Each structure stands twice: as structure tokens, then as C-alpha cells.
Amino acid sequence: MLTEEQKSIFLAEMKRFEQLKRNEPIRDPYVRLSRILPFTARQLCTYYRNYGNPKLCHDPLDEREKQFIINWISLYRRGKSISWMRLIKDLKSQFGLFRSENAVKNFYYSNQRSGAAETPALPSISFMLTFNFVEYTSLNLAPITDKQNPFALPTLQPDFKQDEIKLQTHI
């Protein structure tokens, strides 16, 4: 996509934007780069997210990562919608490698087409036991103390407190 000269300009400018971002946030780095390079802001953003980011790991996915992706999607898929960026963030936190959106999507959709492994209705037990769900819980549950059974599931008690009704009489 980009020539070697364009790549060096692109990476140098992205590095400069990163340094400037510490002092003042830059909201439109790809728009600014599109004025210098003969590509649209969207093309440059896609290039950076899939190829140009120096933090990306371009090694093939290992079996644990592949199984993680399948399990994660079975748990968090909303209809036909998959939050790829959230999945990539969880891959990084679980395995320490930052993967491109293309690599993750290519694995998942090629796996679906081949029928090698259908996405299960529920993720595997090992996934459920090892994945950190703290970020995704919307319930504010009290922490488990050492006196409680750590294997017991929390029960949710509805709050049935009724406000006192004050009757006013007008005479």
C-alpha cells in the first residue's frame, strides 16, 4: 500500500503526534497525514491499525489464542455484532500480544467458513474459570470476605424499602 518513503514519513509523523499528544491531544492525526500523503484518512487509519503500528504482533495466532477468540465471541456476541476492538484488548490483556483487527477477523471468519469449529453456545468451562470478568460486570457486588464461601454464587436481593407516604390534609 505505502512505499518505503511513504512508510517512513507516516511512522515519523505518527511518532511526532504521539509525543505531541502528551501535551495537547491531537484529534485528527490521520486527517493531517492525508494532507501530506496521497491517501484518505480512513485508509491511513486502517493501515496503522493493521500494519503500521509498531506494537502489533505479526506472528501467527497460537492455539490458546484461537480458542480464546472462539470462546470470547460465544460469550460476548450480540446477534451478528462482534466488538472486535474489545476482543483485541482482551487478547492483549490475556496473552500480552497486541493483534491486528485483520488477523483476528481473518482467523474467526475462515474458521467459520471451514466449519472446523462451530462457535459454541456457551464458552468452555476453562475459559470461564480463567477469564477476568471484572471489567465487564455491571453489578456492584460486595467483595467476598475470608468468612464467606468463595465458591458460592452471590444472590441479588431486591431493595423493597418503601418510602413513607405522607398524607397532607387540606382544611
CB 102 within 8 A of CB 80: no
- Residue 35 pLDDT greater than 90, yes or no: yes
Cell of 167: 398524607
What integer pLDDT is reported at residue 128 of this predicted model? 62
SS3 53: coil
- Residue 136 pLDDT greater than 70, yes or no: no
Q: What is the value of pTM for the model shown?
A: 0.60
Q: How confident is the model at residue 23 (pLDDT cuts 50, 70, 90)?
A: confident
Residue 39 CB neighbour total at 10 angstroms: 18
Q: How confident is the model at residue 117 (pLDDT cuts 50, 70, 90)?
A: low
Can you tell me the distance from the alpha carbon of 41 to that of 32, in angstroms, rounded to the nearest whole number?
Answer: 8
DSSP string, 59-110: SPP-HHHHHHHHHHHHHH-BTTB--HHHHHHHHHHHHS-B--HHHHHHHHHH
Q: When comparing pLDDT for 121 and 114, which is higher? A: 114
Per the prediction, the chain carries an average pLDDT of 77
Q: Determine which of 18-22, 42-46, 97-101, 157-161 has the lowest per-residue pLDDT on average.
A: 157-161
State the average pLDDT over residues 46-61: 89
Give domain limits for the chain.
4-52, 63-130
Q: Determine which of 78-92, 115-129, 141-155 has the lowest per-residue pLDDT on average.
A: 141-155
Q: Determine which of 3-7, 32-36, 109-113, 164-168 has the lowest per-residue pLDDT on average.
A: 164-168
Cell of 73: 465471541
How big, in percent rounded to 5, are the helix, strand and coil portions of the chain? 50, 0, 45
Can you tell me the distance from the alpha carbon of 89 to that of 162, in angstroms, rounded to the nearest whole number?
Answer: 43
CB 83 within 8 A of CB 76: yes
